[in-house]
Structure 1
Amino acid sequence: MSATQLAIVIHAEEEFDWDGGFFRSKVKVSHADNLIHVMDRIIELGGKITLAMDYPFITSDDGKKVVDYYRHQHGVNVEFATHLHPWVNPPFENEHDSVDNHLSYPGNLSYEYEFEKIKVLTETIERISGFRPKTYLAGRYGIGANTQNILKSLGYEVDLSISAYCDFRHQQGPDFSHYSNQKFVDSEITYLPHTSSILSVIPPIRNYLNRHPEKFTWIQNNKWRHLVGKIMRVKRYRLSPEGFTAHQMKQVTQAQLRVGQRDFIMSFHSPSTKSGLTPYTHTDQDVAYFLSTIENYLRCFTQEYQGKTVLPSMLSASSSL
């Protein structure tokens, strides 16, 4: 049996109003010390961290502080990766401050603009950190028809942009409802989806839906089937301390282990490490609970599930050759 492995992915980004739209001018980053505190605790517990950085983060004083702090650990406990928020990443198509929802997904951009934005961000991370990133995470999980070719041309090996079992078409995003959490390789790019799981009080239903995720969408898209799903308490949970308890994260892991899953991603957004910046941590007490959730889950993963934490670059097709 293959090893049970966990990648810890931090979406390192600017601080903005999650419900207030997308603006080029919203680029503040003020949470370096808070993020370092959380990352240090994860590393103390044996964790390895992928820091997927967007343009405002890597070019800010606070972002550079985080990079400088962990530079000597790159490739060991920390991996510097790329996270594209197109609305704050040059080059820009026009002079407008606001960006509509459609263009907040990188995969909806033209080939030229998606390529140039990823290229600029890649070269900026390399210049500031000293390391050329090999792992990519699209903002809003927004990969599109051109993304794979762009990533290959820029030397990327791993893509973390798939969000298993999720369908973002209602907000002009991609449809991942047919994707499981299974790692796969396509055109020399290794895809490691962000982990979700479908849970139910009826174990055979839970196992069936996790093996056939498209059926979950089938249930959700009809009011009568949806009602039956509610009776069976069919829900989709994400492996994240944002909005989920350590117990729920364990349920996600257990459900996936039962269907043979061995590669997992736990993720969160860097501003959640400081109170008042995301919907998940309004107060200092929320931040403390957020960190304790991470600590409890990591202990469970390494001790109860006998898993280990890895950097996604370690899982790429080229690293296994």
Structure 2
Amino acid sequence: MGEGSPARDQRRGAYRAPAPSAQALVDWPESFGNRFSIFVDTEEEFDWGRPLQRESSETRAIAALPRLHRRFAERGVPSVYLVDYPVAADPAAVETIAALIAEDGRSTVGTQLHPWVMPPFEEEVNGFNSFAGNLPEALERAKLTLLTETIAKAFGAPPLIYRAGRYGIGPRTAGLLAELGYRIDSSMRSAYDYSAEGGPDFTAIRNAAFRFGPGDALVELPLTTIFTGRLRKAGAGLFHALGRVPHARGVAARLGLLSRVALTPEDMPIADALEAIRIAAGEGERLLNFSYHSPSAEPGHTPYVRDAADLAAFDRWWDSALDLLDRLGFRPASQADLIAAACGKGAASANAPGAGGL
């Protein structure tokens, strides 16, 4: 896969994703052009400020997705809905999402694993176990297998894209995904480090897509992170060094020296995101991977959309980002587009409408 092998920090138990080798990087075909994707963490509602609970499994906010979905669809932008177990097991939620997919013909469904609400329930609910890659291999396999089967039954085709909830990929996850027929993983969040919580460390991961796993069977599409500011060339190394000094990251951002910008409307000001998109375009990024959480489609479920004013700002964020992407020549990419370009056209056709696809 790259420089070194998957490793765990024995002191903290964290999985450290190694940087991919140059040979593992995906060489997007010229015909692919410059693209962007939108992945939606499609999940239950829970209190983000309280400890995780198995009982938090309501999916009322799914009913708010059609309004937002149609805003994207009107602009020809498909979504990949990465659904977790409470969503896939709720007939009303499945009906809503399936109707949206049928309506625009390009959106699709993938998988997201929240282990604390995913049977079998054998582990203690705590922060460490909320990262699925920390679970014993047999339990991670059991949860992932049942979730994959549930999604395939609910939506009529096996999912091909996976994201671990809380970005909690582990050293055995790629092998399990390959066994189950997945083609793309998007669990890695470029330049982020969750090891202080017992989660994975993606400090070595940049934005470029790469092949990994057994026999390079999978393609990793990291969530895009762009560094902005006068010292942005120093990137992740300087950012993580600043994290060892109290308030240093905030000072660097306020002085216009260095900011870390993820491509999401959740806690990322639009001015910062637009600057990040411009930098990414100027530096030749071929694929920008955006995301948001489905409960943000309705006020009151996430800290990012608390009321009607926040929801209006959320809509404006997307309008501004999509306008800029259009001006810069970035076209939206569907699951089929991504798989055809990264894995070959034969791989894409296995999940196409009429061939058991979503």
Pair 1:157-2:183 in alignment: yes
Give CA-to-partner distance per residue, 1:52-107, whole Å, 9 cap, x none.
00000111244213233124258x4211100000000011105x6xx110000011
What is residue 260 of structure 2 aligned with on the other side?
236
Q: Unaligned 5+ residue runs, structure 1?
A: none
Pair 1:140-2:166 in alignment: yes
Pair 1:264-2:288 in alignment: yes
Select 2:243's aligned residue among 217, 220, 243.
220
Distance 2:166 2:244 in 1: 22
Give CA-to-partner distance per residue, 1:223-260, whole Å, 9 cap, x none.
69769845553111110111223322211111222332
TM-score between the two structures when normalised by the length of structure 2: 0.81
What is residue 309 of structure 2 aligned with on the other side?
285
- How is 1:23-62 mapped onto 2 (pairs within 5 angstroms)? 23-62=53-92
Distance 1:225 1:285 in 2: 31
TM-score between the two structures when normalised by the length of structure 1: 0.90
Question: Are the structure 2 counterparts of residues 291 and 151 from structure 1 closer, same or farther at C-alpha, using a change threshold of 3 Å?
Answer: same
Is 1:3–1:262's contact at 8 Å kept on the other side of the alignment?
yes
What is residue 5 of structure 1 aligned with on the other side?
35
The offset of 1:279, in angstroms, is: 0.2
Give CA-to-partner distance per residue, 1:180-235, whole Å, 9 cap, x none.
111111212111011111111x2xx22x134xx33432343356976984555311
Select 1:209's aligned residue among 217, 234, 246.
234
Letter in 2 for 1:263: L
Q: Secondary structure at the match of 1:52?
A: strand
Give CA-to-partner distance per residue, 1:7-61, whole Å, 9 cap, x none.
1011000000011111111100112331111011111111010000000011124
Question: Are the structure 2 counterparts of residues 85 and 227 from structure 1 closer, same or farther at C-alpha, using a change threshold of 3 Å?
Answer: closer
Select 2:113's aligned residue among 84, 92, 101.
84
What is residue 129 of structure 2 aligned with on the other side?
103
Is 1:7–1:311's contact at 8 Å kept on the other side of the alignment?
yes
Give CA-to-partner distance per residue, 1:145-182, whole Å, 9 cap, x none.
00000000000000010101101111111000111111
Q: Secondary structure at the match of 2:46?
A: coil
Q: Unaligned 5+ residue runs, structure 2?
A: 1-29, 347-358
What is residue 63 of structure 1 aligned with on the other side?
93
Q: Secondary structure at the match of 1:140?
A: helix
Distance 1:71 1:235 in 2: 36
Q: Secondary structure at the match of 1:23?
A: coil
Distance 2:127 2:336 in 1: 31
Give CA-to-partner distance per residue, 1:95-127, whole Å, 9 cap, x none.
x6xx11000001111111111111111100000
Is 1:4–1:305's contact at 8 Å kept on the other side of the alignment?
no
Distance 2:78 2:160 in 1: 16
Distance 1:270 1:225 in 2: 32
Distance 1:246 1:226 in 2: 19
Select 1:318's aligned residue among 328, 343, 353.
343
Distance 1:193 1:319 in 2: 19
The offset of 1:310, in angstroms, is: 0.7
Letter in 1 for 2:178: K
Question: Are the structure 2 counterparts of residues 312 and 111 from structure 1 closer, same or farther at C-alpha, using a change threshold of 3 Å?
Answer: same
Is 2:62–2:295's contact at 8 Å kept on the other side of the alignment?
no
Is 1:198–1:237's contact at 8 Å kept on the other side of the alignment?
yes
Letter in 2 for 1:189: L
Q: Report the RMSD for the aligned CA atoms in angstroms.
A: 2.1
Question: Are the structure 2 counterparts of residues 222 and 312 from structure 1 closer, same or farther at C-alpha, using a change threshold of 3 Å?
Answer: farther
Pair 1:127-2:153 in alignment: yes
Distance 1:319 1:70 in 2: 26
Distance 1:66 1:250 in 2: 32
Letter in 1 for 2:121: F
Q: Secondary structure at the match of 2:116?
A: helix
Distance 2:252 2:192 in 1: 17
Is 1:71–1:129's contact at 8 Å kept on the other side of the alignment?
no
Question: Are the structure 2 counterparts of residues 224 and 60 from structure 1 closer, same or farther at C-alpha, using a change threshold of 3 Å?
Answer: closer
Pair 1:178-2:208 in alignment: no
Question: Are the structure 2 counterparts of residues 147 and 29 from structure 1 closer, same or farther at C-alpha, using a change threshold of 3 Å?
Answer: same
Aligned residues: 310
Q: Secondary structure at the match of 1:37?
A: helix
Q: Secondary structure at the match of 1:7?
A: strand
- Percentage of pairs with the same residue: 28
Letter in 1 for 2:218: I
Q: Secondary structure at the match of 2:60?
A: coil
Is 1:165–1:179's contact at 8 Å kept on the other side of the alignment?
yes
